[in-house]
Amino acid sequence: MSGYLQVSTATATRDEAVQLAGSAVSAGLAAGAQIVGPVVSIFWHEGQYGEGEEWQVLLKTTEGRYAELEAHLLGNHSWANPEVSAVPITAGSARYLDWVDRTTKG
């Protein structure tokens, strides 16, 4: 059993979030994704304080597929420097984690 991750990014539109999540799942880089939004974001960008609405994309994958998933998200995102971050899934039901393993096999 490998380690598991929840990977997050955000997009400016719902349509882009759905496309990005769908392409990652279709490619087997993530077992599944949830799209949350719109959410309000507060941030610094290019030295400027900003506020805006974004759509958050949460993807479930294994540590072994992370590099490919990151490359996919960065290569298909409309922003030049989007957030792509991951947090470990430290516990989960055996059947759920087995599903993540099975659906992300390369």
pLDDT digits (tens, 9 = 90+) for 34-67: 999 999 999 998 899 999 999 999 999 999 999 9
CA-based nearest residue to 53, from 6, 16, 5: 16
Q: What are the pLDDT digits (tens) for 4-41? A: 999 999 999 999 999 999 999 999 999 999 999 999 99
Q: What are the pLDDT digits (tens) for 82-106? A: 999 999 999 999 999 999 999 998 6
45-72 burial, b for 16+ CB within 10 Å, e for fewer?
eeeeeeeeebbbbbbbbbeebbebbbeb
pLDDT value of position 103: 96
For residues 35 and 56, the answer to whether their CB atoms sit within 8 Å is: yes
Task: Give the CATH number for residue 48.
Answer: 3.30.70.120
- With a cut of 80, say whether residue 1 has pLDDT above it: no
The whole domain housing 34 covers 4-103
Domain count, the chain: 1
pLDDT value of position 56: 98
